[in-house]
Structure 1
Amino acid sequence: MRRRVLRSLSGYRASLMNGFFLPRRLGRTALLRYAAVLDGQTVNLHAELPAFVTQAETAEIVMRRGLRRHRRPARVYPDPEGPWLMDAAVLLGAEAGGVPVGRGRWKLSLDVRSGRRRTRLPLTLAEPTAPRKGVTGPMARSPLTAHRYRLGRTVRGDARVVCSKARPVAEVAAVHIQHARIDVDLRVLGVRATAPWAEVVAAGRRLRCSLAETQPGIWRLEVPLAQMLPEGGRPEHWDVLVHPDRGAPLRLARRLHDVQAPGRVFTMRKILVSPHRGVLMRIEPRYTPAGNFRFTCSDGDRAD
């Protein structure tokens, strides 16, 4: 019932926007021809200014939520065959050195100045920009903080940035594969982690591991390869669970990227180790289709 009500309201909202507001506002606002968040934290904008704008020296993107305002420069220039155009790239998030937007909806507008004259134009998003298909695509979350920034529209068609705080994640930062050792660097985002610990788990088996902080926010796991020899001769699949200060454990993964097929792109080499005298074991670190980090351990040939 709730889904049906939400679908009905969404359809009514879209009908009101496209059938009433947008036709009455076109020609009086800056019309966005392109709007996307490509790297998870930078808003890329390209807009066509209304015909009555015939002079423009400088321009600024204004992000507004309640009484809070943030401004960032934009580039305006004339099109020899049409109206003035605007380009802007706005980095989001104080941690990245960008606009310190917090959780919520931030409305976008454009201030255009020519001499002492200033004109404020709403930024209208008539049609959302469709992402291009390929090996890479737009990132859903910031690679630094895991916060989510997405573009939306008000019922009047005005563009806005919707900011959502990070969900708790354990993210692979680097994998160091040596001759007989594997270390994994990881980050814990969206949840307090002053003294996290980890465990590698397989069917019916759990091995607790400590984490060493190698630099602020980066923790290193030394994979206990000597204890991961398969039992019963069959290959075993080991996942990594990271335990923050409180809350549920987090499955170690790599999801803060723009790659469509991480299992094929982020490939790693296999190694052959000898956990016990006369015994060899093959280790294959890899990513599952869901992006989870996993080790597959199998028996190697017995050493002489």
Structure 2
Amino acid sequence: MQSNLTSNSRYYQVITGYITDLELYDNYQNFIQARTLANRPDFNVSSIGHLDKVFNENNYMKSIKVRREDGSLIQNIEQYFCFKLGDKVIEGVFCRAFFNIGDYVEVVVDQIEGENYFAYALRRPVDHYLWLHPYATMGTDLAKRKKKEYLSLIPLIIFSSFGIAGAFIFVYMLMLAYSLKSIGHLIIAVLALLFFLPVRFYYSTFKTLESGSPVADKIFATLGYVNPKNFTIDRECDFFIDKLNFLFKQYEANYSGSLTNLEELYEEFIDYYRNQQSDDETEDDILLKHFLSDEPPGARWVYIYRTATVIPSYITVIHTESSNDKVES
């Protein structure tokens, strides 16, 4: 019998404590096999969050056989994990789970059954890291607003005009080709189909835009972000990105080396920045340098934040730091 996650609530729960019994799994099959051997409560893992998108992207990467420079295949974009906080069993999936045994963490969870929980986000206060469930980065209302901005009136008119003109030319030339028995008009009719390419590109791009995530809505609400449906996690790291871009422009302006490729120059700058020692380093510099040194290749959906939000008093928080779990709600 499968257990159901209690995801009908507006909020998740939070469990805090120190990680023990950490296990990592590089693919879905190994994770499911380990769950079965450990006799953990059964539930439909593939229906969780946005794992359907994860599976689709993995299949796409395999279909085009994307490889690294050394010829090895790129790993799946997700990594599954299981660990304990006290006697609570926490399972989940992030892109790269590079937390460790002994880390103090605050985990946003949904209960599976009994002492078993599924993690949607993990916050590590010591270095201000925040791991998120795949694709759970933007609130649903913000995504809708961004799509409306993209689908504005002027481009809509332009691309619709392309489609209407293409359809008119196609039909008209097809009729002439039929009545005049003309190959030339038939060729023009076929060429008129090219008018549909910009239209197809525009609407296919629109469909692939970030659609927002109900999972993100609940994560941000649980962690105490203001107006979570209009929040994107990118706002947390915009400060660090702006700082890096500003420092890189300074580095580029004063650069006198042999590199001409901008991407290679940026990589050299990152290496220089994270190893640079300075007496006037701020806490933000320390956090950013640590993140740049710590982040493994291919990591996605993990961020650094400047100041932790306060978890609202109405959120159920289970503290496992002591021998007896303390529950706040």
Q: Judge same fold: TM > 0.5, yes or no.
A: no
TM-score normalised to the size of structure 2?
0.19
- Greater relative contact order structure (CA < 8 Å, 6+ sep): 2
TM-score normalised to the size of structure 1?
0.20
